[in-house]
Structure 1
Amino acid sequence: MASTIVLGIAVLIYLMLTCYCGWMGYKHTKSTDDFMVGGRKVNPFVLALSYGAAFISTSAIIGFGGYAGAFGMGILWLVFLNIFIGIFIAFIVFGSRTRRMGVNLKAVTFPELIGKRFQSRFIQGFSGLLIAIFMPIYTSGVLIGGARFMETALGIDYNTSVLMLTIITAAYVITGGLLAVMYTDAMQGILMFVGMAILMILTYRNLGGVVEAHQALTNLAYLVPETMAQQGHNGWTSMPTFGSPIWWTLVSTIILGVGIGTLAQPQLAVRFMTVKNTTSLKRAVLSGGPFIFMMVGVAYVVGALSNVYFFNNKGMLAFDVAGGNIDKIMPEYINSAMPEIFVVFFMLTLLAAAMSTLSSLFHNMGTAIGHDLYREYIMHGKIGHTISITKLGIAFTIIISVILAYVLPIGIIARATAIFFGLTAAAFLPMYAGAIFWKRMTKEGAVASMLVGTFSSLFWLTFVHAKEASALGISQAIFGQTTLLTGTWTLVDPILVATPISVLVAIVISLLTEPAPKEHIEKCFGK
């Protein structure tokens, strides 16, 4: 257990810095634009760190790191997609057009950008409703990750840990808006980068070096449990057997679901509208890429290598040490293998990872309720008490997220992330891409794509994809069988089915309906 005095001082300093950054955001928040999009003047370095810190949370470090501990380094393909799609494509290809259109249309949220592009309050309201209903699932996964580490490292009750994380984060989000979120994100991002760098160095030192550590992990392949081997597990430095259950989960749900779903994350896309020009976005790539590489690359490698440490010191694999809960693999490894003083520092790293993402999600859920659903859809654009309703929306979705963090099953972090990313990919990505790249896309095509993407994804989760269908039990109750389809179909993630259908619907319906007036298209894209 880390020294109470050292821990107390470290946490106090961290909270003082967090409060200061939150206060700076509050001080500079004077208008709705400031609260929603940081006044559109955020520094590119702050943007990169804020984007990365919001993107990479305890879900990645604890949840996906634990997944690597159980199933191996095949998850490193997700690092490639995180950087290539999540940073390069997102900033250079999507980001510049999103920023430009956001300025042209004076949009302050992701749903408003899409809604104004297609002149549809329904699109804006429905998008806000989707965010309000389903983002708490992802948020709860982030909460669980931070709370599990606090539980293991500090001996604090899990329920207490959840409340502590929530209350601290909610305080500066509700008062300071997006500026407070981004300033604190940037500070927390720096802390996260340093923490992960030290974790990587200490891990390789403990295991005898880079080559020695990876060779030792390769040599453990013979210890793969028979049940996992039958599902395709070939060791921690090999990809699972092609077409096996583990392969389908890794490739379709984890790698593609999260890797592609990044482009349609509302809490990330809105950050493109916070900078003053496209040059700022390009500059942000230079710091955003290395940041993401360090965050996810280290987490996944260390998670897998924890097997070597546990086998050498306890004669057990990581999965067994964690009692079958993959969400506990990383906390168990860090508390067992790292120096006491580093455990304190890494707890702050994980607090930063959790709070940076939570603050972004809380802010996004609140604006979805207050601005998109209430003001624009229900009140038809009347100003009313938008900020007050937004703050109440933040509070409401926080409560829902906390409840979910208490009731969701063990090992849920990576799964919860993949579910939300997959759903947003199917519901938002075709419509979003069409909005900023295809002038011919119509309102009818966007509405149809969003609805078909949403409900086909939910249908697949409920009635076909075995992981969710068996847990929900709806198919069993209605049809008397766990899933409506059998065999490989039950392993295919919804993103591979719902997103292509959504794309096809968007194209076909748009070509069959009248395009928007030329004047509106010129307003959106600029002359």
Structure 2
Amino acid sequence: MSLPLLTFVVIIYLSIVGWLTVKAYKGTVSTADYMVAGRQIHPFVMAMSYGATFISTSAIVGFGGAAAVFGMSLLWLTVLTIFVGVFVAFVFFGRRTRVMGLNLNAHTFPEFIGLRFQSRTLQGLAGLLIFVAMPLYASVVLMGGAKFIAQILSVNYNAALFFLTVIVAVYVVMGGLKGVMYTDAFQGSVMFAGMLILLFFTYWKMGGVIDAHQKLTDMADIAVSIFGAQGHTGWTSFPTLGSPFWVTVVTTMVMGVGIGVLAQPQLIVRFMTVKSNRELNRAVLIGGVFVLVAVGVAFIVGALSNVYFYYMNPETAGKISLVAANKNVEEIIPLYISKAMPQWFTAIFTITMLSAAMSTLSSQFHAMGTSLGRDIYEKWLRKSGNSVLITKAGIIFTIMLSYFFAWGLPLFFDGGTAIIARGTAIFFGICAAAFLPLYFGAIYSRRITKFAAFTGFTAGTIISFFWLFFVHDKVSGPMMICKAVFGVNSLAEGTIWAAVDPLVIGLPVSALITLATAFAGKQLPKEHVEKCFHGIGK
């Protein structure tokens, strides 16, 4: 790796990020500017910010590495994220959220929920869940970026982690959501170009699209000999129905992220940053194309890396990607880039990875900071103070917390666990179980009560955490809480339920309870409901 070339590229990149941050800082004069970007964001900026926030190093490094293990079956996640995460989200959720958020003058997702149901407690609890659970997601994104930097530069992981955290912290604290979205748009553009170039070079190196996929298909016997007991049938086919691999791919990877995206607080708030539904309509195509490239390429390249390591790289001949990376899933993509790609591209892709990490992390830190500062401290606890200043303090605190998790997680989970991909899917699943039923009810039902929203939220949250700590063995085992209480790693040990994602249990239960109690409790005032829905459908 040419350090002078990399240094030159990074300096230019950080200079542009710095300029955009200063520009946003100068244009941030109000709470609305800091929290919802003044509600005047251009559709291109909104779409790219949404996509860049959604697609992070967890998608490229984490899920790309997971694709090297599970194969191209993960491409179903690409299909689901485009249809659900972009089309359904923008058209069926985004339009109503934008109008209702403006009617209520909401600045955050928990505030949106709290104002809709006239409940400071619900706003505070939603903010608390974000503050407690999102550091897990932020930490695995930090891990992905730091692992890539450490591999490419041959530096210590902890040093790379510290470097990445400090850079993101500076521009998030300064620019607010305006700074986040401006830099997201730039970073998303870099990611889009970098992923396209990566796909081109991968196919070129492997003799073209047809030859590359045929070689991978011909490796099916190798996959079955290694992972066959868990249901693997080859890197270009789906795992055996009902097998542990099938359960993981379908419930954790595909459903966990593909459905959970609808209830992501840091994404929902972006619907409230544009001035009209026309901007949302224009953003659908941009967001769909971006997700197709950013997610699809990572899964294709991850799976095809097996061809490179097994047949094309003399150092790893006869080894699949997982073995070549010393059974560390998160090391597969960084290792492939450093070994298979030319030096000049490695420098470019380093910027791609920085963009992927920084764009998502900035939004996460902003969401966690506003949850702590505005939703919990100012609204739930009714403490007075400067909202922006308190939010900045919250951002700094959550950055430190996420950094601590990113440092500690590798110590508890072995490299073959796919920490980054699973951590992402787990957070998405928790949000879906806790938020999605009440969020859907909030924007579509005029009669849903505060009681129904609260019971659905509570049920989804409790069930998700119980399933994580006591049933889902990939988490309950390393956490050792179940072991300490019941003497086993999982209450479902030895059964297929131990591999089932919490989303599969938590979301249906939350939805059923919300529906069953939809009309229970005191109805909200008619004039308030009419205010919420004013202008929706126009």
The residue type paired with residue 117 of structure 1 is R
Alignment partner, residue 365 of structure 1: 368
State the alpha-carbon separation in 1 of the partners of residues 83 and 34 from structure 2.
30
Deviation, 1:55, is 0.5
Q: Can you list the C-alpha shifts for 1:150-172, whole angstroms capped at 9, x where unaligned?
A: 01111121111111111111111
Shift, 1:435, TM fit = 0.5
User: Is 1:445 aligned to residue 445 of structure 2?
Assistant: no
Contact 2:449/2:520, CA 8 A, preserved across alignment: no
Name the structure 2 match of 1:399: 400
Q: Distance in 1 between matches of 2:496 and 2:141?
A: 30
1:321 aligns with 2:328: no
| 2:517 match | 509
Counterparts of 1:310-349 in structure 2, within 5 Å, are: 310-312=309-311, 313=313, 314-315=316-317, 316-349=319-352
CA distance in 1, matches of 2:501, 2:26: 45
Show the counterpart of 2:465.
Answer: 458
Post-superposition offset of 1:71:
1.4
Q: Is the contact between residue 470 and residue 482 of structure 2 (CA under 8 Å) also seen in structure 1? A: yes
Q: How does 1:13-32 map to 2 (within 5 A)?
A: 13-32=12-31
**Where does the alignment leave 5 or more consecutive residues of structure 2 unmatched?**
none
Aligned to 1:238: 237
Q: 1:51-82 CA distances to partner (integer Å, 9 max, x unpaired)? A: 00000000000000000011100000000111
With normalisation by structure 2, the TM-score equals 0.96
Q: Is 2:63 the counterpart of 1:64? A: yes
> Aligned runs of 1:124-523 on 2, under 5 Å?
124-224=123-223, 226-312=225-311, 313=313, 314-315=316-317, 316-379=319-382, 383-408=384-409, 409=413, 410=415, 411-486=418-493, 487-523=495-531
1:431 shift after superposition: 0.8
> How far 1:488 sits from its partner (Å)?
2.0
Describe the superposition over 1:106-147 as per-residue Cα deviations: whole angstroms up to 9, x where unpaired. 000000000000000011100111111110000000000001
The Cα of 1:514 is off from its aligned counterpart by 3.1
Partner amino acid, structure 2, of 1:26: Y
Residues 343-402 of structure 1: CA deviation (Å, up to 9, x unaligned): 0000000000000001000111000000000000011xx652221111111011101111
The CA distance in 2 between the partners of 1:58 and 1:485, in whole Å, is 32
Q: Distance in 2 between matches of 1:522 and 1:512?
A: 20
* Counterpart residue identity of residue 377, structure 1: W
CA distance in 2, matches of 1:138, 1:491: 20
Q: Deviations over 1:182-221 (max 9, x none)?
A: 0000000111011000000000000000000000000011
- Tell me how far 1:481 sits from its aligned partner: 2.2
What is the alpha-carbon distance in structure 1 between the residues aligned to residue 492 and residue 344 of structure 2? 52
SS in 2 for 1:510: coil
**Structure 2 CA distance for aligned equivalents of residues 151 and 318 of structure 1:** 18
Q: Which runs of 5+ in 1 are unaligned?
A: none
Return the alpha-carbon distance in structure 1 between the equivalents of residues 143 and 479 of structure 2.
Answer: 20
> Partners of 1:115 and 1:269 in 2: how far apart?
15
Q: Against the structure 1 CA distance between its residues 105 and 383, is the aligned structure 2 distance closer, same or farther, given a 3 Å change threshold?
A: farther
- CA distance in 2 between counterparts of 1:175 and 1:455 reads 36
Greater alpha carbon shift after TM alignment, 489-498 vs 323-332: 489-498
| 2:224/2:234 contact within 8 Å kept | no
Amino acid of the structure 2 residue aligned with 1:19 = G
Q: Residues 224 and 233 of structure 2 are in contact (CA less than 8 Å); yes or no, is this contact kept in structure 1?
A: no
- Residue type matched to 1:116 in 2? L
- Partner of residue 41, structure 1: 40
Give the percent of matched residue pairs that are identical in Structure 1 and Structure 2.
52
Q: 2 CA distance for matches of 1:255 and 1:162?
A: 28
The residue type equivalent to 2:134 in the other structure is: M
1: CA distance, partners of 2:491 / 2:349: 45
**How many angstroms apart in 1 are the aligned matches of 2:224 and 2:131?**
41
Which residue of the partner structure matches residue 51 of structure 2?
52
Q: Which amino acid aligns with 1:466?
A: D
CA distance in 2, matches of 1:254, 1:126: 27
- Determine if contact 2:60/2:298 at 8 Å carries over to the other structure: yes
How many corresponding residue pairs?
524
- Aligned counterparts, 1:61-140, within 5 A: 61-140=60-139
Distance 2:17 2:492 in 1: 50
Query: How far 1:480 moved relative to its partner?
Result: 1.9
Residues 51 and 188 in structure 2, CA contact (< 8 A), matched pair in contact too: yes
TM-score, length-scaled by structure 1: 0.98
Residue type matched to 1:342 in 2? F
CA–CA distance in structure 2, aligned partners of residues 433 and 161 of structure 1: 40
Large movers: runs of 4+ above 3 Å:
none
Q: Which amino acid aligns with 2:392?
A: K
Specify the code of the residue in structure 2 equivalent to 1:436: I
Question: How far apart in 2 are the matches of 1:340 and 1:466?
Answer: 41
For residue 225 of structure 1, report the CA deviation from its aligned partner: 5.8
CA-to-partner distance for each residue in 1:488-509, whole Å, 9 max, x for gaps? Answer: 2212211011111101111111
Which amino acid is 1:447 matched to? F
- Does the aligned pair in 1 maintain the 2:66–2:329 contact within 8 Å? yes
CA distance in 2, matches of 1:228, 1:447: 43
Shift of residue 227 of structure 1? Answer: 4.8
Shift of 1:226: 3.6
Letter in 2 for 1:453: G
Amino acid at match of 2:486: F
Q: Deviations over 1:208-253 (max 9, x none)?
A: 0000000000001111264511000111001000000011001001
CA–CA separation in structure 1 for the residues paired with 2:500 and 2:148: 31
Displacement of 1:515: 2.0
Q: C-alpha displacement at 1:286, in angstroms? A: 1.5
Letter in 1 for 2:60: I
Hey, what's the Cα distance between the residues in 2 that align with 1:173 and 1:255? Answer: 30
Deviation at 1:484, TM superposition (A): 2.0
